[in-house]
């Protein structure tokens, strides 16, 4: 969150005038660019700067050669795959609508790598303390627009790896896709430093139409993994105590990105209107070894600040840390309006799963938290006691108006007896503030601590221990749900019952599906404006009414009831590595994507499956789990997919061409992607169609394989007794 103390949030001075840049392109993108302008080729191993540079047969050698050219709309700069270039890129020029400038790769093989060279004395900025700070990103665009960047690996730089900024006007249309950005160094001075940064550089400059897709960003002693800030550092507070408004970026998307091992935040949007954070994964955030009294503080994994109409959905965050407070996964921070956090999975964090904050003398309005799954957060006793799993709080003259929290599922298993919901916020206005239709499974008896503004009803709570459950509501504590209902006036239709979650080993039942006869079935309340689908994308309601929790009951869920013998699968992946599946030694997680889905123009759906596979492969690294991505049908020729393992940074995940649809036919894959979980006993024990779902896959593996190494069991009994 933005700290209670006035953390500095911007760089100023000469750094704002630095120009560096890097761009990248897929083969299909290259063809489009070649038809509209000049294409320049760079081969840092075999090129010669005296060459023409306009064909693969006569490439340039150095990045300085590129930096000396002013590019025109429609031009492209392509780096040879499998090569390593020392230095930085500072391309000049802007594209225009329909004719962007493109920067990418050509050839076959690993991404071209740009390694930041030595920092010179000319690239230093004088800080407010009188000390000099190194300022040399690996890639910068400054006062430039209409750029496409794709298929590059950027190594090093400080305080950013990729830096896009300016000091005047609205800069439009950026497509940053399939980059690896890593190892950005230096000491963070504020929350706007990090691996990938799109930052307003003056009070008169912002952005519009920005898409960051398929970026892998990791390994930084600077603050964030990916940060987009559409404004500039605010002026001091006025006489009324409020922070003045600044410009906001508009139409910003961060999708299918993976961020890990950052000193501070994972993925953040600051001062954005119409923002989307979708299908991203962030882990091992907040890894700063000790708290710096002069630097930023209080990191989270995926969050927004001063955001307007921003949507956070289908993301996963875990293993978030903090030396201060927060250390959570998702956060609607102060000064935000009309934001929704839905269909996300947050687990195994030191802090909370989700928070909503008000501060800065203003009011955070119309915040919606729905259909999320939170499991095993609050691993730090200190943070669990302070914040819980769901945290509503205000300070600095801030307030909340309109907080709707419904149809979420919480597995609360803290190391100490503290409530999962902590609400000490100041509320104003007349918008609805409620907590409804939520399923809470707790290993401790103290369930919530809230003021009386938040209304409670139609929730189902379960604590399987010997003590009476306790609700702290308003000025009183209530022992037992009947006491809360009679004396506290809350939970008129609430339940304290075993939710009867599915645990049948015969059907490989999973601890988030409602079993037949569950009291949560049809017990929810229809909420005005609620989405038409549950966490798994199934229509709601399925029965006579809405269910409680994030997952609607389906009598025969094909994802858990089907147990088939897995067919033998032998061959080579697109990198010519042999495979022979399934084996007797480990589990196999396989996603099969029809070629038609894979060939969609933005590939966002196909990418989301790769992101989920990468997350789970990382969590179960060393445990014997194998993962594969299969593209099935015409158009999936191996030679056409040779670069995919590199472009999507898939690492150990196998990419398999099923051009003749042999696997697709045997496994009954039609026009929708299918994910299969195959046991060491060579049985298909899980089969799910449609969008990849982090909680469904993650909790399935946790249930069948045990928790990932280093993570705790969920520890809440909830099945039939």
Q: Is residue 47 part of a domain?
A: yes
Task: Respond yes or no on whether the N-terminal peptide bond of residue 518 is cis (omega within 30° of 0).
Answer: no
Report the C-alpha gap between 577 and 564 in whole angstroms: 27
Kindly state the helix (H) or strand (E) to which residue 312 belongs, with its residue range.
Answer: strand 311-313
Domain boundaries, position 58: 30-90
Q: Please report, for the domain that includes residue 618, its CATH number.
A: 3.40.30.10
Report the C-alpha gap between 331 and 339 in whole angstroms: 10
Write out 559-573 in H/E/C secondary structure. Answer: HHHCCEECCCEEEEC
pTM: 0.92
pLDDT of residue 238: 56
pLDDT 10s digits, 225-284: 999 999 987 655 555 666 666 799 999 999 999 999 999 999 999 999 999 999 999 999
391 phi, psi to nearest 5 deg: -125, 120
Asked if residues 352 and 378 have their Cβ atoms less than 8 Å apart, the reply is: yes
Packing angle, helices 694-705 and 604-619, rounded to 10 = 30
pLDDT 10s digits, 521-563: 999 999 999 999 999 888 999 999 999 999 999 876 554 444 5
Residue in 521, 539, 519, 543 with CA at minimum distance from that of residue 530: 539
Which of residues 73, 90, 107 is at a domain's end?
90
pLDDT of residue 280: 97
Tell me how many domains the chain contains.
Answer: 2
Q: Is residue 593 part of a domain?
A: yes
Q: Please report, for the domain that includes residue 59, its CATH number.
A: 3.30.1910
pLDDT of residue 654: 94
pLDDT of residue 155: 98
pLDDT of residue 705: 85
Q: For 460-476, b where at least 16 C-beta lie within 10 A, e where not — what string?
A: bbbbeeeeebbbbbeee
Q: Is residue 418 part of a domain?
A: no
Q: Is residue 240 part of a domain?
A: no
Kindly state the helix (H) or strand (E) to which residue 32 belongs, with its residue range.
Answer: helix 27-34
The gap between the terminal CA atoms of the chain, to the nearest Å, is: 42
Distance of CA 432 to the CA centre of its chain: 28
Task: List, as one string, the DSSP characters of 187-204.
Answer: ---STT-EEEEEE--STT
Report the C-alpha gap between 9 and 192 in whole angstroms: 6
Q: For 624-643, b where at least 16 C-beta lie within 10 A, e where not — what string?
A: ebbbbbbbbbeebebebbbb
355 contact partners, CB below 8 Å, separation of at least 6? 1, 300, 326, 328, 330, 331, 332, 333, 387, 390, 391, 392, 393
Q: Which two tokens stand for residue 78?
A: 């392509």
Report the C-alpha gap between 417 and 420 in whole angstroms: 9
Q: Is residue 552 part of a domain?
A: no
pLDDT of residue 563: 53
pLDDT of residue 719: 41
Q: Which two tokens stand for residue 347?
A: 């687990």
Q: Is residue 99 part of a domain?
A: no
Which of residues 90, 106, 130 is at a domain's end?
90
Residues of the chain with pLDDT under 70: 1-35, 118-134, 234-245, 503-511, 556-563, 715-721
681 contact partners, CB below 8 Å, separation of at least 6? none
pLDDT of residue 557: 56
DSSP strand pairing (39-42 vs 84-86): unpaired
Asked if residues 164 and 94 have their Cβ atoms less than 8 Å apart, the reply is: no
Q: Is residue 669 part of a domain?
A: yes
Residue in 72, 76, 70, 90 with CA at minimum distance from that of residue 29: 76
DSSP strand pairing (564-565 vs 683-689): antiparallel
Q: Is residue 710 part of a domain?
A: no
Which of residues 67, 90, 113 is at a domain's end?
90
């Amino acid at each position: 969150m933005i700290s209670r103390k006035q953390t500095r949030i911007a760089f100023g001075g000469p750094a704002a005038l630095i120009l560096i840049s890097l761009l990248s392109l897929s083969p299909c993108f290259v063809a489009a660019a070649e038809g509209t302008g000049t294409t320049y080729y760079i081969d840092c191993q075999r090129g010669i700067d005296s060459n023409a540079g306009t064909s693969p047969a006569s490439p340039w050698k150095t990045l300085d050669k590129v930096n000396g050219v002013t590019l025109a709309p429609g031009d492209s700069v392509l780096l040879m795959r499998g090569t390593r270039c020392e230095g930085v890129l500072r391309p000049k020029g802007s594209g225009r609508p329909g004719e962007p400038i493109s920067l990418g790769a050509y050839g076959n093989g690993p991404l071209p790598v740009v390694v930041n060279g030595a920092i010179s004395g000319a690239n230093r900025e004088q800080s407010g303390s009188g000390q000099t700070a190194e300022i040399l990103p690996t890639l910068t665009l400054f006062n430039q627009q209409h750029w496409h960047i794709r298929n590059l690996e950027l190594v090093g730089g400080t305080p950013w790896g990729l830096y896009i900024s300016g000091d005047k006007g609205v800069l439009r249309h950026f497509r940053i896709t399939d980059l690896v950005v890593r190892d950005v160094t230096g000491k963070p001075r504020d929350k706007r430093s990090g691996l990938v940064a799109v930052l307003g550089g003056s009070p008169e400059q912002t952005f519009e139409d920005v898409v960051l897709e398929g970026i892998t960003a990791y390994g930084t002693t600077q603050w964030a993994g990916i940060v987009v800030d559409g404004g500039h550092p605010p002026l001091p507070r006025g006489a009324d105590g409020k922070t003045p408004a600044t410009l906001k970026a508009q139409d910003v998307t961060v999708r299918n990105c993976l961020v890990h091992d950052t000193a501070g935040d994972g993925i953040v949007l600051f001062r954005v209107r119409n923002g989307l954070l979708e299908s991203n994964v962030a882990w091992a955030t907040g890894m700063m070894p000790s708290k710096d009294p002069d630097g930023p503080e209080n990191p989270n994994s995926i969050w927004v600040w001063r955001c307007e109409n921003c949507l956070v959905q289908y993301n996963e965050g875990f293993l978030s840390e903090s030396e201060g407070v927060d250390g959570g996964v998702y956060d609607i921070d102060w000064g935000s309006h009309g934001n929704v956090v839905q269909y996300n999975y947050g687990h195994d964090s030191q802090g909370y799963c989700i928070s909503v904050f008000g501060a800065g003398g203003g009011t955070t309005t119309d915040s919606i938290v729905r259909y999320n799954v939170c499991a095993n957060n609050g691993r730090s006793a200190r943070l669990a006691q302070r914040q819980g799993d769901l945290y509503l709080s205000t300070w600095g003259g801030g307030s909340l108006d309109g907080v709707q929290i419904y149809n979420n599922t919480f597995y609360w298993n803290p190391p100490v007896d503290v409530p999962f919901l902590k609400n000490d916020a100041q509320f104003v206005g007349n918008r609805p503030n409620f907590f409804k239709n939520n399923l809470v499974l707790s290993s401790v008896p103290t369930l919530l601590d809230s003021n009386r503004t938040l209304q409670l009803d139609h929730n189902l709570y379960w604590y399987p221990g010997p003590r009476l459950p306790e609700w702290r509501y308003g000025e009183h504590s209530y022992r037992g749900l009947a006491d809360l209902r009679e004396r506290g006036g809350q939970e008129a239709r609430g339940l304290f019952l075993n939710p009867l979650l599915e645990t049948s080993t015969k059907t490989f039942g999973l601890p988030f599906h409602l079993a037949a006869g569950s009291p949560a079935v049809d017990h929810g309340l229809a909420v005005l404006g609620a989405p038409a689908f549950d966490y798994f994308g199934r229509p709601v309601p399925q029965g006579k009414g809405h269910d409680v929790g994030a997952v609607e009951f389906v009598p025969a869920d094909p994802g858990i009831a089907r147990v088939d013998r897995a067919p033998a699968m032998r061959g080579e992946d697109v990198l010519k590595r042999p495979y022979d599946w399934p084996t007797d030694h480990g589990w196999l997680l396989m996603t099969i994507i029809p070629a038609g889905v894979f060939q969609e123009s933005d590939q966002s759906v196909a990418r989301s499956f790769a992101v989920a596979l990468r997350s789970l492969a990382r969590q179960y690294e060393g445990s014997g789990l194998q993962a594969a991505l299969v593209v099935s049908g015409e158009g999936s020729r191996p030679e056409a997919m040779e670069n995919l393992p590199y472009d999507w940074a898939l690492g150990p995940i196998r990419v398999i061409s099923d051009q003749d649809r042999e696997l697709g036919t045997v496994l009954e894959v039609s026009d929708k992607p299918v994910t299969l979980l195959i046991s060491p006993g060579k049985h298909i024990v899980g089969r799910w169609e449609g969008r990849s779902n982090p909680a469904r896959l993650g909790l399935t593996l946790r249930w069948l394989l045990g928790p990932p190494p280093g993570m705790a069991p969920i520890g809440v009994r909830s099945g039939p007794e």
